[in-house]
């Protein structure tokens, strides 16, 4: 099976309506270019101050995912709604939630980010996601007509055990919607994505945020699509936009057959 995947790169602000309008435009552009799997970055619909987060949070049936489901159905695509801030009923904090939507507009998978970004790089980046977010607990993948897809979000990239579990659950494509900071992204983004692709012999679709953000630091961008041999098939320029590359599942199976590292794995 061979089809096109697209990774969308954005610079999301606190203007939700404008963000959704921009996301819709780029989804339509990607679909017009022939993409059947289209992925948006982390927090694609809203990114603002924490004091405003409770108001911006949505349910899974809120305006954002309702719009995304309608687009998936209209365009007959598989759409990864990178992540939204999901309201958690009865909780003071919210989830960072990624949703995979099928061509019929139905939710195929709902993943709540497991690894929260709590870091302190003096003079560069200090951020504690757990101050405002709840951690998910479930490893999530979905069988689709485009192969089994495993979901993750941003900081998850640093935890290889998650991707190995997704792979042994049948994943052929791994999605990593992100808002990687510039200092950590410049150092580790590409090497970690290529490592996850190589060690799991999977395609990776990694849409990302780009440019200065409301939190006072800059996001790295470099949205990319990587093949099971670790080759970067597409990389976004330093701007908002769309990159497209082929997903060839027959090639993936050939890689796994010729270099059977997954079959040879002794620890699972």
Residue 125 binned pLDDT confidence (cut-offs 50, 70, 90): low
Find the farthest-apart pair of alpha carbons in the chain and give their distance in angstroms, rounded.
53
Residue pair 209/221 in contact by the 8 Å Cβ criterion: yes
pLDDT in tens, 78-87: 999 999 999 9
Contacts 24+ apart (CB under 8 A), 232-237: 232/190, 232/194, 234/7, 236/7, 236/9, 236/208, 236/210
Percent of the chain with pLDDT over 70: 99
pLDDT in tens, 231-245: 999 999 999 999 999
Cα–Cα distance for residue pair 179/44, rounded to 1 Å? 9
pLDDT given for residue 246 in this prediction: 98
pLDDT given for residue 1 in this prediction: 78
Q: Enumerate the β-bridge partners of residue 210.
A: 220
Cα–Cα distance for residue pair 135/129, rounded to 1 Å? 9
Residue 122 binned pLDDT confidence (cut-offs 50, 70, 90): confident
Cα–Cα distance for residue pair 150/148, rounded to 1 Å? 7
pLDDT given for residue 96 in this prediction: 97
Residue 50 has pLDDT above 90, yes or no: no
DSSP H or E stretch at residue 71: helix 63-75
Q: Which two tokens stand for residue 235?
A: 């990389």
pLDDT in tens, 181-217: 999 999 999 999 999 999 999 999 999 999 998 888 8
Residue 179 has pLDDT above 70, yes or no: yes
For the annotated catalytic residues, the residue numbers are 42, 113, 154
CB atoms within 10 A of CB 135: 14
Residue pair 141/165 in contact by the 8 Å Cβ criterion: no
Per the prediction, the chain carries an average pLDDT of 95
| CA dihedral over 199, 146, 36, 45, signed as positive or negative | negative
* Residue whose C-alpha is closest to residue 98's, from 78, 118, 87, 113: 113
Side-chain-side CA neighbours of 151 within 13 Å: the count stands at 32
Cα–Cα distance for residue pair 175/113, rounded to 1 Å? 12
The domains of the chain, with CATH numbers, are: 2-258 (3.60.110.10)
Cα–Cα distance for residue pair 163/157, rounded to 1 Å? 8
**What average pLDDT score do residues 22-34 get?**
98
CB atoms within 10 A of CB 120: 9
Using CB atoms within 10 Å of the CB of residue 42, give its burial: 0 to 12 exposed, 13 to 18 middle, 19+ buried. Answer: buried
Residue 131 binned pLDDT confidence (cut-offs 50, 70, 90): confident
């Amino acid at each position: 099976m061979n089809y096109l995947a697209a990774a969308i790169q954005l610079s999301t602000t606190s203007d939700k309506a404008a963000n959704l309008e921009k996301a819709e435009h780029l989804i339509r552009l990607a679909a017009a270019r022939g993409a059947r799997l289209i992925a948006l970055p982390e927090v694609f619909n809203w990114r603002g101050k924490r004091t405003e987060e409770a108001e911006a949070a949505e349910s899974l049936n809120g305006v954002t995912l309702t719009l995304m489901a309608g687009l998936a159905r209209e365009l007959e695509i598989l759409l990864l709604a990178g992540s939204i801030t999901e309201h958690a009923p009865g909780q003071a904090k919210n989830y960072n939630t990624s949703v995979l939507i099928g061509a019929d507009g139905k939710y195929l998978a709902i993943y709540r980010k497991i690894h929260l970004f709590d870091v302190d790089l003096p003079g560069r980046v200090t951020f504690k996601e757990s101050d405002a977010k709840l951690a998910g607990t479930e490893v999530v993948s979905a069988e689709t007509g485009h192969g089994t897809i495993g979901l993750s979000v941003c900081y998850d990239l640093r935890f290889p055990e998650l991707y190995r579990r997704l792979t042994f659950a049948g994943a052929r494509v791994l999605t990593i919607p992100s808002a990687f900071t510039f200092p950590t992204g410049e150092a580790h983004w590409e090497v970690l994505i290529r490592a996850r692709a190589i060690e799991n012999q999977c395609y990776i679709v990694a849409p990302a945020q780009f440019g200065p953000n409301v939190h006072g630091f800059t996001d790295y961008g470099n949205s990319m699509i990587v093949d099971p041999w670790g080759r970067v098939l597409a990389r976004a320029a330093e701007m908002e936009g769309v990159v497209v590359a082929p997903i060839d599942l027959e090639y993936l199976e050939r890689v796994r057959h010729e270099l059977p590292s997954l079959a040879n794995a002794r620890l699972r």
